[in-house]
Amino acid sequence: MSVKDMLLALCVVVAWGINFVVIKLGLQGMPPFLLAGLRFTLVAFPAIFFVKRPAIPLRWLVVYGMTISFGQFAFLFLAIKLGMPAGLASLVLQAQAFFTLLLGALFLAEKLRWNHIVGILVATLGMFMLATAGMEGQTTAGITLTTMMLTLAAALSWGLGNITNKIILRNRSVPVMSLVVWSALVPVVPFFACSWLFEGETVIVTSLLHISLQTLLALIYLAFVATIMGYAIWGNLLSRYETWRIAPLSLLVPVVGILSAALILNETLSLRQMIGVSVIILGLLVNVFGGMVTQRLAVRT
């Protein structure tokens, strides 16, 4: 992997890590469903006029958009709005890797290896530590069982989107940006409908008429930097390098998320939460690298 491409990959990791802080800042001036609806509107328009529609059945495009876009960000934005720390959200959301494995085994008959099972168990222990620390008040970050469950629901939606993506890509090649841009059309109406029903006309009008520069910049970042630019670069790298070279770099996203939240939002963690974070990261590492270590040991012996 060239130095240039490594730097590009790290730029995407940083952009995705800071993304959670930007969501938190954007939600200070706008309700979650409205913010998400505007975010995906900006992703879809005007890009759909320049990006060809993916050659996949409409039903799969809808399922993909409703899971990885609507479901994931409806739960995530709501969790952060209700107080889920941005840094911890970036970490807990990585449970999508485990949900993807379990759903793959359930729906696609994919085999779970020992490192997957151990990784799931270890990470679950870490998340339990985070949740119980919040319920017992052993935190200054404001995590609760409700926000934890909402973030896990976002991770589950992401996992469902990953499985849908696998089904879509069977026996066909679909450009990453084509799928990202056109699937962004799917959640726009549901998000605005939820905003109208749950946030109300008055809040919507007030938020739009008095939109702050901070909220506007957050929308631009979420739509163009984190989504369009991020997925364009990441997809290009995945198309040119082996998956094992690129995918593990995403483990740095929660590291950037936690550090940026501490620096920008002054989020702090209790000792018990820091231990929980460490245990979750250990579970992710076992999940990603456990199989590689076993293979290398087998080759040596």
Closest CA relative to residue 81, chosen from 131, 132, 144, 18 = 144
Distance CA 273, CA 115 (A): 24
CA–CA separation, 268 vs 63, rounded Å?
Answer: 37
Instruction: Per-residue pLDDT tens, the chain, 301 aa: give them.
Output: 788 888 999 999 999 999 999 999 999 999 999 999 999 999 999 999 999 999 999 999 999 999 999 999 999 999 999 999 999 999 999 999 899 999 999 998 888 888 899 999 999 998 888 877 755 554 545 678 899 999 999 999 999 999 999 998 887 888 989 999 999 999 999 999 999 999 999 999 999 999 999 999 999 999 999 999 999 898 888 778 766 577 778 888 999 999 999 999 998 888 888 898 999 999 988 888 887 666 666 666 6
251: containing domain: 3-299
CB 17 within 8 Å of CB 262: no
The residue behind tokens 């119980």 is 132
Report residue 33: phi and psi, to 5°. -70, -35
- Model-level pTM? 0.91
Structural domain count, the chain: 1
Nearest CA-CA partner of 150 in 77, 95, 98:
77
Where helices occur in the chain by DSSP H, the ranges are: 3-26, 32-44, 58-64, 72-81, 86-92, 96-107, 114-135, 145-169, 176-183, 188-194, 201-209, 213-220, 230-240, 243-246, 252-264, 271-300
DSSP letter for 228, please: I
Q: Are 220 and 42 in contact (CB under 8 A)?
A: yes
DSSP class of 198: I
Does residue 32 have a cis bond before it (omega within 30 degrees)? Answer: no
